[in-house]
Amino acid sequence: MNEITKLEDLMRQMPQVELETTHYFARGLYGRAVARKAGTLIVGKVHKQEHFYIVTKGKVQIEDQVYEAGTVLISQPGTKRAVLALEDSICMTVHHTFRKNLEKLEHDLVVEDPKALYGVGNTLKELPCPS
């Protein structure tokens, strides 16, 4: 994870993109679908629980592996990954929870990261103006 953390530190200095995120709720399940344009690199947050990671559209690269639409991965707790969209893509995570409040839900599912540029629900935080 050290290399990913270094990459993330470099990425914080670059312009950020708004991430089109759609939230889905079903009994005991929460799904988060994140659309990204080809060429977009995303470093995700560390998750606390095992969950599904599904490529629902396009093609992405995670480390040295390429995954196409239809791929389902099981992500383990503590996982932090860098995902490069090789095509316009949508990836979705599916979590077990009965919560529907995004702030409480994210507190339960994601390790807090004070340096994160994205807040609850993948909203881009207000960035300080450079001096």
Distance between CA atoms of 98 and 56, rounded to whole angstroms? 23
Q: Which pLDDT does position 86 carry in this prediction?
A: 98
pLDDT, tens digit (0-9, with 9 covering 90-100), for 11-61: 777 778 888 999 999 999 999 999 999 999 988 888 999 999 999 999 999
- Domain 2-112 CATH (choose: 2.40.50.140, 1.10.3720.10, 3.40.50.10540, 2.60.120.10): 2.60.120.10
Distance between CA atoms of 129 and 94, rounded to whole angstroms? 35
Q: What is the pLDDT averaged over residues 65-87? A: 95
Sheet holding 72-75, edge to edge: 20-26, 29-36, 89-96, 51-57, 72-75
Q: How far apart are the first and last CA of the chain?
A: 31
Q: What is the pLDDT averaged over residues 74-85? A: 93
- Residue 86's alpha-carbon distances to 7, 20, 41, 125, in angstroms, are 18, 17, 9, 26
Q: Which pLDDT does position 50 carry in this prediction?
A: 96
Using a 10 angstrom Cβ sphere, with 0-12 exposed, 13-18 middle and 19 or more buried, the burial of residue 60 is buried
